[in-house]
Amino acid sequence: MIDTHVHFWDINLNIHAWVKTRADPLLMRSFNLDDYIHLQGRVDGLVTIEAADNRHTLQEVAWIAQHIVTNPYSINVKHMAYIDVLQTPDDFRQQLAVFTAYPFVCGFRQIFPLTQVFNSDYLLYFKNNLGLLREKNYVFNAQMKPRQLLQVKDTLIESGVRCVIDHAGLPGMGNEHSQQQWLAMLHAFSGTEVYFKLTHTAPEIVHSVVETLARHQLLIGSNFPVNQQKLTDFPQACIAYNNVNARQLFNF
């Protein structure tokens, strides 16, 4: 079994400001592989997702290398680090080169602010930088709202980069307008080569994703420790699709 969305951190490193800002007592401690195994049991592979403050992403990568990649459970670990795909291509190329020292880094995630506007300059940088990720065989992991995904849909697809949409595109459950916008976005991406990652087992979300997208687009992740759910809580069909797709996408 492959878990495509896991976070680990050492709270004492003081590089995860959002954890302290969130002030969730369940998260205000360190989380390591032993904690994960205690909840999930053994898995074949993990994709750890960046969780540190953006400026500390390299410090986080070094910590992951020391404490997670090398492990007694024979679990194959890949990592998605942070990088800004909207910076100038020259700056992007320079920053990207630093990560070649860490072969377990398989790609990069960026969380886009809700207010992010993709003007012509940003879209040009975005397209060029995604193309470089494709050339280097990296995966791009995007966390965006549905309206933002619709704005950049053509750019994502035309770039040819292997792309994963985090949290299935942030469904707006409980808000009729947001939910309809999310469903429209799913339909727009249906049948493309863009992957969507389910990180919540809510039946209405799972049903919409499974019914709308093609099998080859589906991934699942536990979102440990933010969510205390087990991979086995997902429908068996989702688990089966994920295991095939994740092995191919992340080269497990």
Task: Find the domain containing 51 and state its range.
Answer: 2-250
Q: Is 197 helix (H, G, I), strand (E, B) or coil?
A: strand
pTM higher than the cut 0.85: yes
What is the DSSP annotation of 8-39?
-B-GGG---HHHHHHT-TTTSS-B-HHHHHHH
Q: With CA atoms as reference, report the closest residue to 224 among 78, 57, 7.
A: 7
Which pLDDT score is estimated for 174?
75
Q: What token pair was written down for 149? A: 């995904």
Q: With CA atoms as reference, report the closest residue to 78 among 9, 139, 134, 168.
A: 139
Question: Which residue stretches of the chain have pLDDT < 50?
Answer: none
Which pLDDT score is estimated for 132?
98
- Specify the CATH number for the domain of residue 148: 3.20.20.140
Considering its fold, how many domains does the chain have in total?
A: 1
Q: Give the C-alpha separation, 242 to 58, whole Å.
A: 28
